Structure 1
Amino acid sequence: MQLGLMQLWESGWISALLWGATITIMVGLCAMFAGLVIGIICGMIKWGRVTPLNWLVDGYTTVVRGVPELLIIYLLFFSSVEFVTRMANAFGWSGLADTGYAFIIAVIAIGTISGSYSTEVVRGALSSIPKGHLEAARALGMPRLRIFRKIILPQMLRIAVPGMNNVWQATMKDTALVSVVGLQELMRAANVGAGSTRNPFVFYLVAALIYLLITFVSQIFFKRAERALTLRGRS
């Protein structure tokens, strides 16, 4: 173990792992933001029972949650990478498919997965808002946009934060799957280091500790956000 840790530090692998962790966090944050946008839009459609859009949203959530996450990444990446490579070569951007495109497709794939779960979290939060609040606002003649900003959105966020915490944790774990498209995130860096040094236990152990650190910091953030929203709702 001591030899492995020394090798990790002296050979510069710790820098590679930290850079991989940075990429992992960037993918997670971008995918979570995309999933949150999808979740709010689709959740409101399901909550408002907007037909036929409601059928499309039901189909989206059913398909994405019913298909393995890795398969979704494969489908999105390998169905488009050849076309993107040809277009990139035609415009002189030959390195696009090997660098930026892997990141983009990772965000799209993980964001799509995250959005399907966020949709149900948002829908459940919206359904928990007392109907009397909305009826009172309409009776006062408040515009729809103001009702959304002043009544629906604050209560939805307060109720949805615990569920979004679970979605974020799942999203971060799903980022490990995007190593299959060649993105140098944390899991990919650990895999390359383990293969190069033939010391897989140390690399995977360090990767696990980094994931746990990200989870620990995320839990603190969500607990503070939940406490702040709760106090604001009581004031």
Structure 2
Amino acid sequence: MFELFSYGDAGWGDEILRGLAITVQLAIVTLPVGLLLGFLAAAASMSRLLPLRLLGFGYTTVMRGLPEILTLFVVYNGAGLLINAVLRWWAPEAAPTDFSPFAAGVVALGMVFGAFAAEVLRGAFQSLDSGQAEAGRAIGMTGRQIFLRIRLPQVWRFALPGLGNLWINMLKDTALVSVIALDDLMRMTKVAVGVTKQPFTFYLLACLIYWAMCVMSELVLAQMERRANRGIRRA
């Protein structure tokens, strides 16, 4: 059985590792995209301007109500059609192009992550004590200084547990990109199963790899939470 996981033509070890690398890259690239969308959506939903509030709440409501795999299909196929339509308008003689499955995965998973992160961040911002910002203004701090030195560190502390859960969910959701032909861990596992006819062996290996990534993420998140809460007195 161990020969199945060896390198070279006789085994599938190198293919599984390449798929794992793509899965990790996809998750790491998606994280800042999702956080940026989350901050923008949270800011819009807390804006004093009604159109921005409607835009923020509309985005989070729609994205949280759609299945992730449906969002992935819409982004992958819709973005491809949009790109080709723009190319035909800009350069009619240009050949059609395909939208990258990796880019589609980043956009789709980032949009989903951002919608849920927006609600976590909005709750964190609303839990802040407004008196601290007033104290900052009283000593002459600018709005930017108040945000960076008073509000953002506390928002990070309050939002970190929720964002950590979203990261773990997103890490597992990367398996969905296998349906759009991205050679991630799940797709390479399916290919290995199709060739070797050993579904239990390879799917069990994939389970262990995803579980190991989630455990390592939880250890890192626990350390980040301890650092974010340093100096905070426990009740």
Query: TM-score scaled by structure 1?
Result: 0.89
Count of residues in correspondence between the two structures: 227
Structure 1 unmatched runs, 5+: none
1:52 corresponds to 2:48 = no
1:123 corresponds to 2:122 = yes
**Which letter maps to 1:9?**
S
After superposition, give the CA deviation of every residue in 1:2-58 in whole Å (9 maximum; x if it has no partner): x3x322326331111111111111111111111111111221232344421010111
Sequence identity of aligned pairs in percent? 36
Counterparts of 1:77-226 in structure 2, within 5 Å, are 77-82=76-81, 84=83, 97=98, 101-226=100-225
**Which letter maps to 2:98?**
A
Whole-angstrom distance in 2 between the partners of 1:91 and 1:209: 46
RCO comparison, higher one (Cα < 8 Å, 6+): 1
Structure with the bigger percentage of helix? 1
Q: Is the 8 A contact 2:46 2:122 kept in 1?
A: yes
Cα RMSD of the aligned pairs, angstroms, is 2.3
Q: Which residue of 2 aligns with 1:7?
A: 4
Q: Say if 1:14 and 1:232 are closer, same or farther in 2 by CA, change over 3 A.
A: farther
Q: Say if 1:149 and 1:83 are closer, same or farther in 2 by CA, change over 3 A.
A: closer
Query: TM-score scaled by structure 2?
Result: 0.89
After superposition, give the CA deviation of every residue in 1:124-152 in whole Å (9 maximum; x if it has no partner): 11111112111212233321100001001
Q: Say if 1:152 and 1:233 are closer, same or farther in 2 by CA, change over 3 A.
A: farther
Q: Comparing 25-34 with 79-88, which one deviates more in the overlay?
A: 79-88
What is the Cα deviation at residue 180 of structure 1? 1.2
Structure 2 unmatched runs, 5+: none
SS at the partner of 1:231? coil
**Which letter maps to 1:217?**
M
Q: Is the 8 A contact 1:47 1:126 kept in 2?
A: no
Whole-angstrom distance in 2 between the partners of 1:188 and 1:133: 50
Q: Is the 8 A contact 2:175 2:184 kept in 1?
A: yes
After superposition, give the CA deviation of every residue in 1:66-96 in whole Å (9 maximum; x if it has no partner): 01111111111112335546859x668x8x7
Whole-angstrom distance in 1 between the partners of 2:202 and 2:49: 49
